[in-house]
Amino acid sequence: MQSPVSRDILHGMRVLVLVAIAGCSGHAPSPAVAPSSTRLPPPPAIEGDVPGASYLTAVAAQLEPRWAAFLEDCRLRLPASHPLNQAALAATFDLGIGPGGAIVERTPVAVSGNGDFDTAIADVLADASPLPAPPPDLQSDDELVHLRWLFARDRRQAGPRAARVLRVELPLASVVDRLLGRGELARAARRIAEAPSEAAGREIAAERVMVAALREALDAPDSAARRSAVEACGRARVAELAGAVRALIVGTTDPELRRAAITAVGALGDVTAAPALLAALRDDLVHEPRTARARIEALVALGQGDAAARVVRGVLDAGPPSPAALAALGLVPDRATAPRLDAWLSAGNTAIRAAVCAALPAAAPDRASALVRRGLRDADATVRAVCAEAAARTDRGRVDPAMLRRLRELAHDRDHAVRARAVAALGALDPAHPVRAVDDLAAEVRAAAAARTAAPSELLTLIADPTPEVRAAALAALGDRAGSAAVRAASDPSELVRRAAAFVLTAPEVLARLAGDASPEVATAALVRLTALRGRQAATSQLLARLADAPAASPERARIALAWLLAS
């Protein structure tokens, strides 16, 4: 016999529960039975710092009224001695909640020993489904949210305080691959960051996330993000993305991005990029000297220097020599062209004479010293400066005394660019006899002295120089000896100086601050340095968490990937 009151209260569990009540009492429930005890107070609230507290509270709001109604019906309609009114009754169920809130798994973990009590729990769960949709951050690797829920006869009832979120973990690499396949890069990064450092496959999974971050940035509409990703692919030798980088050689109108892609394919050893590199080399030698140089350097790195040399020779044979083609002879020397360098150095215009001088050390090594000496006496300061720079690249095993004497004269040249190149050349060729130039009025000369000839005490003075280029050069020359000066330089108003500081700093907290610098170059240098100092394993969780929080397809994600991939 069924009670109308119970029929209204228990909904989906009405038949099983009422049959149990009738069977256990030996007769139909009667309104004449006195309540067995006072009504239970509400279950305790959950503490806010418990993982998933908000969701557990929301689920409890749906389960608890149904469970409380069952307990109250038992209290009102059954004797105090009835088995369903025993305060010690409790059972625990594990629940698997789907993305929409449906209970798709329901497993008893600890039963009460009273079949009717446990059946009532199952009916409450069936009646309550679907529950509130769970937040994605609580999902386990099987894409369900798992809850362990206690149903008790005492005050705990079905309240949230006795419940908790469980985590079901599957093999890390397979989980990450599935998430990346769906484009859930941030979630994949967080999953690895939360895994123990000793988890199997963690480093492999982290590498896949970092490569995915670079792939994402390569497809970004933001050219800065694409450049960051291209440069990272080249520096970290990410061969997996060589095809995407190669496509940018002809697939972009951004000259900076194209040059970055050209340099990267050379670093990647992507020989299949050679035809694309050669295709526009002739035009670039005439119209885009910087891009032409990048193409030739990449071709040399790919073992295609002979092919590049043939293009350069063709340009030089076709008419008046292109300065870019002449300078290219320093990268791809050509025996057939070498005899003509003397005439070009004598009869060419300023740009041609300077280009010849730049190429001489590699293009005509046997005659480089004599021809460079001639260039060091050129009437044009530009030519003298370029030739002084070329002098530093002549064979140092056979330094020409006459060249050294001329360079010492040029260290006092009226033109500051000539003085700076001469000082740098002397520092390279004759370091035992440096030229004092730290007091030169020209910042370019002081910077050259800082890089090549200044003593440590002088470098500490130059760190306070009014010109950023000089301060940066002094920091670079001091290196690990910079100490507190590098820490002060991390707050320098010049990004050039902050970047120089990032390369030599050893203070993690200062590097961490610079890793968020407004300048991408500073931020990249600082993050790479910080990660290298800490080591890849120690930095992995923090970098992955930072990557997950960074904007999608951003330069910041590319920087993080580069820092991790370069670390060991």
Q: Is residue 451, in this structure, part of any structural domain at all?
A: no
The pLDDT of residue 1 is: 33
Number of structural domains, the chain? Answer: 2
Asked which of 435, 467, 493 is the last residue of a domain, the reply is 435
Q: Is residue 501, in this structure, part of any structural domain at all?
A: no
- If we measure between CA atoms, which residue out of 228, 219, 225 comes closest to residue 247? 219
Q: Is residue 219, in this structure, part of any structural domain at all?
A: no
Strand order in the sheet with 103-110: 103-110, 90-97, 145-152, 164-166
Separation of alpha carbons 363 and 170, rounded Å: 61
Separation of alpha carbons 238 and 240, rounded Å: 5
The pLDDT of residue 33 is: 56
Q: Is residue 77, in this structure, part of any structural domain at all?
A: yes
Q: How sure is the predictor about 438, in pLDDT bands with cuts at 50, 70 and 90?
A: very high
Separation of alpha carbons 328 and 5, rounded Å: 96
Q: What average pLDDT does range 460-482 have in this prediction?
A: 95
Longest CA–CA separation in the chain, Å:
124
Phi, psi of 108 (to 5 degrees): -70, 130
CB-based burial label for 454 (10 Å; 0-12, 13-18, 19+): buried
Q: What average pLDDT does range 204-228 have in this prediction?
A: 96
Q: How sure is the predictor about 331, in pLDDT bands with cuts at 50, 70 and 90?
A: very high
CATH code at position 351: 1.25.10.10
User: pLDDT tens digit string along 351-392?
Assistant: 999 999 999 999 999 899 999 999 999 999 999 999 999 999
Which alpha helices (DSSP H) does 341-415 contain, by range? 341-347, 350-363, 368-375, 381-391, 401-410
DSSP one-letter string for 151-216: EESSTTTT-GGG-EEE-----HHHHHHHHHHTT-HHHHHHHHHHS-TT-TTHHHHHHHHHHHHHHH
Buried b / exposed e along 398-408 (16+ C-beta atoms within 10 A)? eebeebbebbe
Q: What average pLDDT does range 271-286 have in this prediction?
A: 96
The pLDDT of residue 21 is: 40
Cβ atoms < 10 Å from Cβ of 375: 23
User: Using an 8 Å Cβ cutoff, are 308 and 281 in contact?
Assistant: yes
Separation of alpha carbons 232 and 250, rounded Å: 19
User: Using an 8 Å Cβ cutoff, are 477 and 502 in contact?
Assistant: no
- Angle (CA) 343 357 301, round 5°: 115
Separation of alpha carbons 101 and 59, rounded Å: 10
Cβ atoms < 10 Å from Cβ of 181: 10
Q: Which domain holds residue 401?
A: 337-435
CATH code at position 128: 3.30.1150
How many residues would you count in the chain? 568
Q: How sure is the predictor about 396, in pLDDT bands with cuts at 50, 70 and 90?
A: low
* Three-state DSSP class for residue 94: strand
Location of structure tokens 């895994």 = 195
Cβ atoms < 10 Å from Cβ of 32: 6
Task: Give just the sign of the alpha carbon dihedral 553, 557, 561, 563.
Answer: positive
The pLDDT of residue 395 is: 73
Separation of alpha carbons 262 and 273, rounded Å: 9
User: pLDDT tens digit string along 227-266?
Assistant: 999 999 999 999 999 999 999 999 899 999 999 999 999 9
- Angle (CA) 34 40 46, round 5°: 165
Q: Is residue 304, in this structure, part of any structural domain at all?
A: no
| Crossing angle (nearest 10°) for helices 255-268 and 242-251 | 150
Token pair for 318 = 């076709």
Q: How sure is the predictor about 268, in pLDDT bands with cuts at 50, 70 and 90?
A: very high
Separation of alpha carbons 371 and 403, rounded Å: 10
Q: Is residue 255, in this structure, part of any structural domain at all?
A: no
Q: What does pLDDT average to over the chain?
A: 91
Q: What average pLDDT does range 465-478 have in this prediction?
A: 96
Chain mean position to CA 82: 64
Token pair for 348 = 């060419």
Asked which of 397, 412, 435 is the last residue of a domain, the reply is 435
Residue 36 has pLDDT above 70, yes or no: no
Separation of alpha carbons 259 and 515, rounded Å: 25
CB-based burial label for 346 (10 Å; 0-12, 13-18, 19+): exposed
* For the chain, percent of residues with pLDDT exceeding 70: 93
Separation of alpha carbons 483 and 399, rounded Å: 36
User: Using an 8 Å Cβ cutoff, are 2 and 101 in contact?
Assistant: no
State how far the alpha carbon of 204 is from the alpha carbons of 199, 287, 347, 566, in Å: 11, 45, 60, 15
- Angle (CA) 380 386 392, round 5°: 135
- Which residue did the predictor score with more confidence, 241 or 432? 241
Asked which of 144, 168, 192 is the last residue of a domain, the reply is 168
Q: Is residue 155, in this structure, part of any structural domain at all?
A: yes
User: pLDDT tens digit string along 12-26?
Assistant: 344 334 434 443 333
User: pLDDT tens digit string along 104-117?
Assistant: 999 999 999 999 99
Q: Is residue 474, in this structure, part of any structural domain at all?
A: no
